Structure 1
């Protein structure tokens, strides 16, 4: 990924970044999270917990700041994510914060919606 693509995608509105996320994750069959003795998490103003995910390593690494400065970007297999992670997140009442940036907390998506969108995109392959 070149710097121009990184900067342009990072500036997209949340909904467009979500579309980019779905397509890139389906293309690469992986997504990225931040890990350090556990996966990075965020909470909204009401205390609802979410796990942030990114479509590419570079976007995840760009968020290794402040509270996540000791975290590193780790890949997650797409099929493991759909069949394991999203099932467990639903059981635990967690949402996904898709494409979190230092300027935007990302798009909050329930596991059911994320599963549906990823499976729909995978049908194109």
Structure 2
């Protein structure tokens, strides 16, 4: 038997956890206060942080002290509206930032693809 996790990094695990939980719950959490929180990244880059759960959003928000409120976003709203809007404004989706580690920045298209692929697997698995 081979170890399929031999090259898996903590960031890979965090990203996979995010995808699996988003599909199971059919939504994500972000921080809102008259608009979605946009954070500075490296250089000119900016990102919008997304979380797999309200608890993760609250924990990060408490350490960052943004004054924003954890708010749910449906999977449909995320994939059909928010991700394309972020792409138009050159704002990256920032997956699961933590106090110790910045966000995972998969890019708009790869994130969309990963979410849709996981959703299709979920639907196929529940149909069998």
> Same fold per TM (> 0.5)?
yes
Match of 2:83 in 1: 86
Q: Which consecutive unaligned segments of at least 5 residues does structure 1 have?
A: 1-11
What is the rounded CA distance, in whole Å, between the counterparts of 1:112 and 1:69 in structure 2?
28
Match of 1:45 in 2: 42
Superposition CA RMSD, Å: 1.5
Q: Highest CA radius of gyration, 1 or 2?
A: 2
Match of 1:28 in 2: 25
When residues 94 and 69 of structure 1 are mapped into structure 2, their CA distance, relative to the original with a 3 A threshold, is closer
When residues 66 and 101 of structure 1 are mapped into structure 2, their CA distance, relative to the original with a 3 A threshold, is closer
Query: Is 1:40–1:68's contact at 8 Å kept on the other side of the alignment?
Result: no
What is the rounded CA distance, in whole Å, between the counterparts of 1:111 and 1:69 in structure 2?
24
- Secondary structure in structure 2 of the residue aligned to 1:121: helix
Q: Which consecutive unaligned segments of at least 5 residues does structure 2 have?
A: 1-8, 124-128
Match of 1:68 in 2: 65
- Secondary structure in structure 1 of the residue aligned to 2:34: coil
Query: Is 2:63–2:99's contact at 8 Å kept on the other side of the alignment?
Result: no
What is the rounded CA distance, in whole Å, between the counterparts of 2:102 and 2:22 in structure 1?
19
Relative to the length of structure 1, the TM-score reads 0.84
Query: Is 2:33–2:69's contact at 8 Å kept on the other side of the alignment?
Result: yes
Tell whether 2:97 aligns with 1:104: no
Match of 2:3 in 1: none
Count of residue correspondences: 114
Per-residue deviation, residues 5-28 of structure 1 (Å, max 9, x unmatched): xxxxxxx82111100000100110
Relative to the length of structure 2, the TM-score reads 0.83
Tell whether 2:112 aligns with 1:115: yes
